[in-house]
Structure 1
Amino acid sequence: MAHPGTLLLIMAVAVLAPLLAHAAGRWIRVPLVIFEIALGIAVGPDVLGWAHTDTVIDTLSRLGLAMLIFLAGYEIDFTAVGGTVLRRAAGAWLAALALGLGAAATLAPRDAAVVIGTALTSTALGTVLPILRDSGDLRGRFGTVMLAFGAVGEFGPIIAMALLLSGRAPAQAAVLLVAFAVVTALAVVWAARPRPPWFSRVVAETLHSSAQFAVRWVMLLLVSMLALAAAFGLDTLLGAFAAGVLTRLVLAGAAPGDSAEILGKVEAMGFGFLVPVFFVVTGIEFDLRALLDGGRELLLLPLFLLLFLVVRGGPVYLLAPRDLGRADRGALTLYCATCLPLVVAITTIGRGEGVIGSGEAAALVGAAMLSVLIFPLSALRLRAGRSTAGAEDEAW
């Protein structure tokens, strides 16, 4: 059953959320996503009952998640990230996966443990990026390391989902994953080649016209990678992330000013429409009643929050580059333990396959929401304290 007023309500919430975030910023810095999800819960079925999702809303929400992962993939500049940092990031994630599966095995049966353990290893790079960008922490050595660890924290769970949560035998899933990787590698080789002169010319000539060739090209690339992942039977988030990486290589052939403007237009579509829809719908579909009605589920919420920090954050702190100071390592740990989008995606798959209950899923998503509220704020304070201490030392 369609609910035509829901989209209007979602967009009203999307407009209200940044106003509330701006007003709250006078006292405390609260990530925008918290207001989007909280307002979604408020207008959803379990509170006011004003908003109800349908096929159209669910489709827009999935597109919003894909756009979020796409923009996260675009932010990764592999030329700026050294191989040593990537190896450390990969090692930290693999250690987190082992810890996560082990911890989850003590809490749930095997299939549910795979869902929970995989969710514990994720990093919400797409959610953290706006915070890093606004605070200026995205630039410099810390930003480069954070992008590497965060990228692995998003890419790793997507790979794990493809292997462990696809419903196929691991060997068959691995073959399909390798085939997708080969095709993607060929696309990377193509994207890295110099663009012909006509490409840059058409991009420049249509940048401010109704043709918008570059934006249409980016959208074609995104949809193509989503379709390719779907054709291989893999999660479309894998295609979205790969499309972001490819888009950075393709736009490298455009003039620097044009490339930044193209990205700005794509971000406007993403953060201005699709991404807020995803987060508000996440709130609308949040099973608050199942969480509050179940004693065990409510107890699991703080436990999951602690596990996000220990399972994902612990290996990050231990394997972070040695040139980072203690405050930076702590901030990196907190940022990497921040999670939400992939937790929502993983729990949705788990619920769809009937291996995880709505109460456990709500506890995981609720803990992930708390991580978005608590961990980045703590990381910002650590970084601010580091900067203040450095300034005082310099003055002395």
Structure 2
Amino acid sequence: MEHGDISYISLLVIVLLALFVPIVINKFKFLPIPIVVGEIIAGMIVGKSGLGLIEESSWLTFLYTFGLVFLMFLSGLEIDFKFIKPARREGQKWHKDPVVTAIMIFVMTLSFSFAISSLLKNMGLVRNAYLMTLILSTTSLGIVVPILKEKNLINTDFGQTILLSAIVSDFGTMTLITFFIAFYTSGATYKVLLSLLLFVAFFVVHKAASKVTKNKVIEDILHELSHATSQIQVRGTFALILVFIALSQVLGTEIILGAFLAGVIVSFITEGEGSQLSSKLDAIGYGFFIPIFFIMVGANFDIKDVLSNPKAVILMPGLLAAAYAVKFIPALMLKRSYPLKMASAAGFLLSSRLSLIIAASAIGLKLGILSKEVNGSVILVAIATCTLSPLFFNHMMGKVEEPEKKKTFIIGINEKSLLIIRRLKKIGVDVVAIAFREDKIDSSAYAGGSLHIGDPSDMEWLRSTGIEQAKTVVVSYADENIYPKVCKICDVLKRDVGIEKVILATNNSKVPSCIDLESVVAISPDFASALIIENLIIAPNATEILFQHQDEFYVAEIKVHNLDIAGRAISKLSLPGDCLILSILREDEKIIPHGNDVLEFGDTLMIVGSREDVERVRFMFSGIQYLGGA
């Protein structure tokens, strides 16, 4: 077999660096740098800036290019739509809408970036002000999302605003870079219009894929072929990536936009059930292709050219200052809704840049729009911002405790809801009751607690009851005449208030057609009776324990929020009393626990034991000292 100009030595060096860089960074935790930054630095050491061990070849260039493509695909896949809540709430001023705010921040960023880029061009430091404008306007979703999750901010209004700003920035600059390259390389407007066909293909494929994947027959086939040697979902994903890359090439647009849109499609159609597929794609990308890209970026970067060029020496600190200014100043508009310190922290986090800025700079270098010195300065800016920005953000925000939602709200007072209230209060659940004005309320039958009477379909009144702090809301009704009101309440709870778990308890076997059963759990008498009878037949002892021995046995869902617990195997834990872990829920994956299973931060565990011991476990896994009774 002919090997031609293939040199496996260069690939071996790159793969060994990809293997050892994460180990070194993890070992020396005092180095607060992302792994990809370590890969770029490692590439500089073995490349043109250092030892010169990497030989350029066509096949290595292909791996480098496909690494860039796969990086852009995973950037699109990172847009997790389950984290994006509905935007503006009723009564909220339009200019405080998170989407409007994100767009305004992006427009201001573009304006400031263009002003600074024009100044740099007039000074003779850059060749093209338009591409530099787009380079300065980028943001790294890959840094923003993990930081927001780590700080428990991803589901807050503040976190949503930052997240949407990052998404708008990523998607906006990606699209504008594609349009710019199309116009720059051809000089024809029709080339830019051809780029729009890529978005037409995006919507067509998205609609078609959504319908196909929801087909029961196809769903069964995909599930059957998703394991072992077939891995049909992974194959389908690569086919989708190449369809959009080929289409981009035919249309004369940049392939990175096609890859990005393919990632967005996969994120759309696998929402809520794609964690296993995402893990496989992450393994392929971050395990092989993407490290090659970043190491090659470092290997091709000659720092001697940058440091020996007086213009580059001036440009580097200027670009770094500009990179922070164009994000920090627009972010100050958040001061209308949040304290100055939080708005400033958002500006620092949005200033982090990594994947897209390096990709845009690499394209500019390839087309001759950027010089080697400018490309080198951009890479150094990316390294600096993605290292410093999270540190600034964490320092300014301090420790953020996510407000724990403990209360259960029962809307509608009737015999069924009163029974639910009594049973919940018996086991110590904090219950708040909300009655319709037309409900017949026997105050003697309601044993204490919070009771609000009004119109739950009125969102402002509903908010005044404190329902936003509810963990679960049960809507119970018996009168068919209030179907429209019940439907409006369920819609308000999910869309405007953002309650994750809404349960509809109806006395009728037929659920109102206006209820969205994908977002609301509907429990009818027929369903409940059938479920209990089924459990009494299949697991009579377990059912008896759950329904008749609640004082002796208690089952609870507990999240792992203690960093000292995360990363430890179950066999290494010493749980209080006779507590047992029945199951582990990790994102969308349900795991049957074994002794060698390692817990991860954010896991939801189902624990069984006495009430006292389960509460001890709850505090143990939250990292808070237990102060309950002995």
Classify the TM-score, shorter chain: 0.7 to 0.9
Deviation at 1:386, TM superposition (A): 4.7
Deviations along 1:356-396, whole A, 9 cap, x unmatched?
321122112211211112112222333334559xxxxxxxx
Deviation at 1:225, TM superposition (A): 1.6
Deviation at 1:297, TM superposition (A): 0.3
Say which of 254, 266, 271 aligns to 2:281: 266
Q: What's the counterpart of residue 315 of structure 1?
A: 330
Q: What's the counterpart of residue 348 of structure 1?
A: 362
CA gap of 1:139–1:204, structure 2 versus 1, over 3 A, is farther
CA gap of 1:271–1:142, structure 2 versus 1, over 3 A, is farther
Deviation at 1:111, TM superposition (A): 4.9
Deviation at 1:291, TM superposition (A): 0.6
Say which of 160, 163, 176 aligns to 1:160: 176
Q: What's the counterpart of residue 224 of structure 2?
A: 205
Deviation at 1:178, TM superposition (A): 2.3
Q: What's the counterpart of residue 171 of structure 1?
A: 189
Deviation at 1:131, TM superposition (A): 5.2
Q: What's the counterpart of residue 496 of structure 2?
A: none
Q: What's the counterpart of residue 292 of structure 2?
A: 277
TM-score under structure 2 normalisation?
0.57
Deviations along 1:50-94, whole A, 9 cap, x unmatched?
123322222222222222222221232446244532332222222
CA gap of 1:135–1:65, structure 2 versus 1, over 3 A, is farther
Between 1:192-201 and 1:270-279, the stretch displaced more is 192-201
Contact 1:101 1:114 in 2 (8 A): yes
Deviation at 1:137, TM superposition (A): 5.2
Structure 1 residue 375 corresponds to structure 2 residue 389: yes
d(CA) in 2 for partners of 1:351 and 1:314? 29
More helix by share: 1
Deviation at 1:240, TM superposition (A): 1.4
Contact 2:139 2:352 in 1 (8 A): yes
Q: What's the counterpart of residue 49 of structure 1?
A: 52
d(CA) in 2 for partners of 1:206 and 1:325? 52
CA gap of 1:75–1:146, structure 2 versus 1, over 3 A, is farther
Deviations along 1:7-34, whole A, 9 cap, x unmatched?
1111111111111221222x35321122
Deviation at 1:282, TM superposition (A): 1.1
Unaligned runs of at least 5 residues, structure 2? 88-96, 403-630
**Percent of paired sites with the same residue:** 24
Say which of 112, 121, 133 aligns to 2:137: 121
CA gap of 1:357–1:279, structure 2 versus 1, over 3 A, is same
Q: What's the counterpart of residue 393 of structure 1?
A: none
Unaligned runs of at least 5 residues, structure 1? 389-396
Contact 1:73 1:151 in 2 (8 A): no
d(CA) in 2 for partners of 1:380 and 1:54? 42
DSSP-derived class of the 1:49 partner: coil
Between 1:46-55 and 1:117-126, the stretch displaced more is 46-55
Structure 1 residue 248 corresponds to structure 2 residue 263: no
Q: What's the counterpart of residue 77 of structure 2?
A: 74
Q: What's the counterpart of residue 206 of structure 2?
A: 188
Q: What's the counterpart of residue 392 of structure 1?
A: none
d(CA) in 1 for partners of 2:164 and 2:188? 27
Between 1:107-116 and 1:148-157, the stretch displaced more is 107-116
Contact 1:327 1:386 in 2 (8 A): no
Contact 1:68 1:126 in 2 (8 A): no
d(CA) in 1 for partners of 2:225 and 2:301? 42
Q: What's the counterpart of residue 473 of structure 2?
A: none
Counterparts in 2 of 1:105-116, with a 5 A limit? 105-108=118-121, 111-116=127-132
Q: What's the counterpart of residue 305 of structure 2?
A: 290
Deviations along 1:142-164, whole A, 9 cap, x unmatched?
55333322222222222221222
d(CA) in 2 for partners of 1:58 and 1:327? 45
Deviation at 1:323, TM superposition (A): 4.9
d(CA) in 1 for partners of 2:242 and 2:206? 16
Contact 1:192 1:250 in 2 (8 A): yes
Contact 1:81 1:144 in 2 (8 A): yes
Deviations along 1:134-193, whole A, 9 cap, x unmatched?
666555545533332222222222222122232233632431232222221222222333
d(CA) in 1 for partners of 2:281 and 2:313? 39
State the AA in 2 paired with 1:357.
Answer: S
DSSP-derived class of the 2:274 partner: helix
Between 1:180-189 and 1:132-141, the stretch displaced more is 132-141
Say which of 10, 13, 16 aligns to 1:12: 16
CA gap of 1:264–1:138, structure 2 versus 1, over 3 A, is farther
TM-score under structure 1 normalisation?
0.88
Deviation at 1:246, TM superposition (A): 0.7
Deviation at 1:355, TM superposition (A): 3.0
Say which of 162, 183, 202 aligns to 1:146: 162
State the AA in 2 paired with 1:70.
Answer: F
Q: What's the counterpart of residue 223 of structure 1?
A: 242
CA gap of 1:87–1:115, structure 2 versus 1, over 3 A, is same
Deviation at 1:304, TM superposition (A): 0.5
More strand by share: 2
DSSP-derived class of the 2:128 partner: helix
Deviation at 1:301, TM superposition (A): 0.8
d(CA) in 2 for partners of 1:324 and 1:266? 37
Q: What's the counterpart of residue 37 of structure 1?
A: 40
Q: What's the counterpart of residue 335 of structure 1?
A: 349
d(CA) in 2 for partners of 1:268 and 1:140? 30
Q: What's the counterpart of residue 394 of structure 1?
A: none
Contact 2:10 2:54 in 1 (8 A): yes
Say which of 245, 248, 255 aligns to 1:236: 255
Contact 1:76 1:245 in 2 (8 A): yes
Contact 2:191 2:251 in 1 (8 A): no
d(CA) in 2 for partners of 1:141 and 1:19? 36
State the AA in 2 paired with 1:292.
Answer: L
Deviation at 1:3, TM superposition (A): 3.5
Say which of 91, 110, 117 aligns to 1:104: 117
CA gap of 1:141–1:268, structure 2 versus 1, over 3 A, is farther
Structure 1 residue 59 corresponds to structure 2 residue 62: yes
State the AA in 2 paired with 1:107.
Answer: L
Q: What's the counterpart of residue 445 of structure 2?
A: none
Q: What's the counterpart of residue 607 of structure 2?
A: none
Contact 1:124 1:342 in 2 (8 A): yes
State the AA in 2 paired with 1:376.
Answer: P
d(CA) in 2 for partners of 1:2 and 1:137? 48
Q: What's the counterpart of residue 530 of structure 2?
A: none
Contact 2:144 2:163 in 1 (8 A): no
CA gap of 1:387–1:291, structure 2 versus 1, over 3 A, is farther
d(CA) in 1 for partners of 2:397 and 2:157? 13
Between 1:91-100 and 1:140-149, the stretch displaced more is 140-149
Structure whose CA Rg is larger: 2
